[in-house]
Amino acid sequence: MSDIKKVVLAYSGGLDTSVIAKWLQQTYGCEVVTFTADIGQGEEVEPARAKAEAMGIKEIYIEDLREEFVRDYVFPMFRANTIYEGEYLLGTSIARPLIAKRLVEIAEATGADAVSHGATGKGNDQVRFELGAYALTPGIKVIAPWREWDLNSRERLMAFAEEHDIPVDFKKAGKKSPYSMDANLLHISYEGGILEDPWAEAEEDMWRWTVSPEAAPNEAEYIDLTYVQGDIVAINGQSMSPAEVLAELNRLGGKHGVGRLDIVENRYVGMKSRGCYETPGGTIMLRAHRAIESITLDRESAHLKDSLMPKYAELIYNGYWWSPERLAMQKLIDATQECVNGDVRVKLYKGNVIVVGRRSGDSLFDASIATFDDDAGAYDQKDAEGFIKLNALRLRIAARAGRKMK
């Protein structure tokens, strides 16, 4: 273990990663660089500086990555209407590649030979961090303390902290949430505790970002979303940066009880796990993006995207954001978004996201053709006969040859 000289740690400032910092110093006898990022988790990141300094950390990186996170990760993913297993909006998955990238960039900048993180050996996050790190810096070493050490209970962890004068906020530790949580500008997640019984309903006081539908306002609220090339650039006519868009949609969605999700998902490491998620802004974005595509995207492009989406979602879930196949798929996805411009009007009401209108200067909706009224010859109904006849030809030949279709 003596060949590690310096390690960059993804450091939240909390108890677990503080213990890791100390454990790394002690176990590897190496220098530790901390990296703390604001990706919209809703907690101050600056306090991490003092905590790191108290442990003798010399190189401390604290960064606000919210704009980069939404612009380069969240928005590209939503261009594909990405959902994992029909339900999950990939809130945790999409934040990991950015952290992995910064970890190895900081390793390069500081001359570190390893990176470290606080993800356990059972979850997906270890995979996402490490695949990203290896893909970007193939020679990097990765230290995953949860797979190595024997501090695998709350008690041992606390004991280690106490023993090594780690500044634990005992008041906070005392009332620790029974859930394992993760948050960023896209979502907050809950696992563990009573959720480990998939028949047990989540408790109301678990949820943090949204009110319940029951507690949401009795008045619906309409919002207009403006799209340019598949991304939202304005809300109710007001231009916003990507992070501002998502923050505002989180506020609106949260207020109206939008975006709670309770699922059992299949982890890449092979087990099923129960997770609850709040994704208020993302839930609005998914519906609205489909709506703007519905009038601007060609049918076959849309179907092509739909056919690739499960694969694309799986790639992101499994940690392959930084991979040639994800990059190639992104080229296809982005190529379809050039004309995905226009406005979507959405109604928010007690948990519902209801699309009520969509319009675009790039619309492919042609009322003069689709109309039930006289179309003045825009469409010749007789064409349908030949269309059906030739599409039926192979079926008729098969039926005549005695094939049974029922």
- Residues from 334 through 393 that contact a copy of itself (CB under 8 A): 334-336, 339, 345, 347, 349-352, 354-359, 362-367, 369-372, 374, 379-393
- Residues from 207 through 226 that contact a copy of itself (CB under 8 A): 213-214, 218, 220
Is 29 annotated among the ligand-binding residues?
A: no
As separate numbers, helices (DSSP H) first and strands (DSSP E) second, the chain gives 15, 14
Q: How many residues does this entry show for the chain? A: 406
Of the pair 233, 332, the CB lying nearest a copy of itself is at 332
Catalytic residue check, 96: yes
Is 10 annotated among the ligand-binding residues?
A: yes
Of the pair 57, 360, the CB lying nearest a copy of itself is at 360
Amino acid code (one letter) for 357? G
Of the pair 44, 361, the CB lying nearest a copy of itself is at 361
**149 CA to centre of own chain:** 29
Is 93 annotated among the ligand-binding residues?
A: yes
Among 70, 115, 144, 288, binds a copy of itself (CB under 8 A): 144
Among 62, 158, 181, 202, binds a copy of itself (CB under 8 A): 202
Is 13 annotated among the ligand-binding residues?
A: yes
Is 89 annotated among the ligand-binding residues?
A: no
Q: Are 230 and 77 in contact (CB under 8 A)?
A: no
Marked catalytic residue, from 96, 102, 260, 287: 96
Which conformational region is residue 165 in: left (phi greater than 0), alpha (psi within -120 to 50 degrees), or beta?
A: left
Does residue 314 bind a copy of itself (CB under 8 A)? yes
Size, binding site for a copy of itself by CB under 8 A = 131
Alpha carbon distance 87, 94 (integer Å) = 15
Marked catalytic residue, from 49, 71, 180, 345: 180
Helix (H) or strand (E) holding 309: helix 299-318
Contacts of 182 (CB under 8 A, 6+ apart): 41, 91, 92, 125, 188, 189
- Residues from 92 through 121 that contact a copy of itself (CB under 8 A): 101, 120-121
Among candidate residues 70, 71, 68, 73, the one with its CA nearest the CA of residue 326: 73
Is 18 annotated among the ligand-binding residues?
A: yes
> In terms of DSSP H, where are the helices of 29-153?
47-54, 66-69, 75-78, 96-110, 125-136, 145-148
Q: Is 145 helix (H, G, I), strand (E, B) or coil?
A: helix
Of the pair 14, 192, the CB lying nearest a copy of itself is at 192
Q: Virtual CA dihedral for 256, 262, 266, 267, nearest 10 degrees?
A: 70
Of the pair 57, 75, the CB lying nearest a copy of itself is at 75
Token pair of 303, please? 């179907």
- Residues from 32 through 61 that contact a copy of itself (CB under 8 A): none
Q: Are 46 and 12 in contact (CB under 8 A)?
A: no
Q: Are 8 and 35 in contact (CB under 8 A)?
A: yes
- Residues from 284 through 303 that contact a copy of itself (CB under 8 A): 290-291, 294-295, 298-303
Helix 280-296 with 242-255: angle, nearest 10 deg: 110
Is 250 annotated among the ligand-binding residues?
A: no
- Residues from 72 through 91 that contact a copy of itself (CB under 8 A): 81, 85-87
Of the pair 60, 352, the CB lying nearest a copy of itself is at 352
Q: How far is the CB of 176 from a copy of itself (least distance, A)?
A: 12
Does residue 1 bind a copy of itself (CB under 8 A)? no
Helix (H) or strand (E) holding 331: helix 324-336
Q: Are 223 and 245 in contact (CB under 8 A)?
A: no
- Residues from 248 through 287 that contact a copy of itself (CB under 8 A): 260, 262-266, 269-274
Does residue 240 bind a copy of itself (CB under 8 A)? no
Catalytic residue check, 298: no
Among 16, 31, 130, 231, binds a copy of itself (CB under 8 A): 130
Of the pair 168, 346, the CB lying nearest a copy of itself is at 346
Catalytic residue check, 260: no
Q: Are 159 and 153 in contact (CB under 8 A)?
A: no
Helix (H) or strand (E) holding 395: helix 383-400
Which residues contribute to the annotated binding site for L-citrulline?
88, 93, 124, 128, 180, 189, 265, 277
Catalytic residues: 16, 96, 125, 180
Known binding-site residues for L-aspartate equal: 120, 124-125
